[in-house]
Amino acid sequence: MSNAIGVAALAIGVLFNIFGCIGLVRFPDIYNRLQAATKCVTIGTCFVLLGAMLLAGSTATTAKCLVCMIFVLVSSPTAAHALARGAHASGVKLWEKSVVDKFDEDGQPGVESGGKK
Amino acid sequence: MEAIVSYVCDAAFIALLGCCGLCLYRIGRGPTAPDRAMAIDILGIVVVCFTALISVTTGRDIYLTVGIAWALLSFIGAIALAKHLEGKGFDE
């Protein structure tokens, strides 16, 4: 039973990873790419680690998978947020069909040289 | 059941290899520096998936330790690159 759930979690996680990486290639600008890739790959990796946890079944593997899962879940959105902020501060333009840039309108607290539209 | 597990693991290895290929395409092609930094970060997370799958197929949990270390270093690298792009020092 736990093997079946583990295989299902593994398949779901790998599917999420594939969709995230396709988004990484197909989307038009960096902010869209960050949106697609980070969310999909984070949840996909968490599912793969859940599957590994259920398939291996030993205590040490379970603990390590849990630590790795929590760390990826916390660190990956943080890194994506920092990269989006850094990209905006270094002047990477938005896609020409983007409709709104709230970060630019709000005066960018803490950022000296803003991105120019 | 064991046969199904090993079959699914083989398929997952091939799929994750495709994911790594797409990340490498973005690293090589990416028009701006933040694109490349983001693709390197995503590649690090995909490699954590690889280590988890290797530890399932070989039955040794040392590979998960490698995955934890890889995730930590990938996170530190992404934060350092983002701070550099923002034009600040690492401890600000």
**Which residue carries 């954590």 as its tokens?**
B48
What residue spans define the domains of chain A?
Answer: 2-105
Which ipTM score applies to this complex?
0.89
Concatenated DSSP letters for B5-63? Answer: HHHHHHHHHHHHHHHHHHHHHHHHH-SSHHHHHHHHHHHHHHHHHHHHHHHHHH--THH
What the block records as the tokens of A65 is 């998978």
> How far away is chain B from the Cα of A26, in angstroms, using its nearest Cα?
10
Residue pair B49/A52 in contact by the 8 Å Cβ criterion? no
**Contact assignment for A41 to B5 by CB distance below 8 Å:** no
The identity of residue A101, as a single letter, is D
Residues of A in contact with B1 (CB under 8 A): 3-4
What the block records as the tokens of B64 is 């998960």
Average pLDDT in chain A = 86
pTM for the predicted model, two decimal places: 0.87
Pick the CATH number of A2-105 from 1.10.287, 1.10.3210, 3.40.50, 3.40.630: 1.10.287
| pLDDT for residue B14 is more than 70 | yes
- The residue among B24, B4, B16 whose CA lies nearest residue A15 is B16
The secondary structure of residue A98, as a DSSP letter, is -
**Contact assignment for A3 to B5 by CB distance below 8 Å:** yes
**Contact assignment for B67 to A68 by CB distance below 8 Å:** yes
> How far away is chain B from the Cα of A29, in angstroms, using its nearest Cα?
9
Give A61-103 pLDDT, tens digit per residue. 899 999 999 999 999 999 999 999 888 888 888 888 888 887 7
Task: Tell whether B6 is within 8 A of chain A (Cβ).
Answer: no
**Contact assignment for A86 to B83 by CB distance below 8 Å:** yes
Strand (E) or helix (H) holding B79? helix B62-86
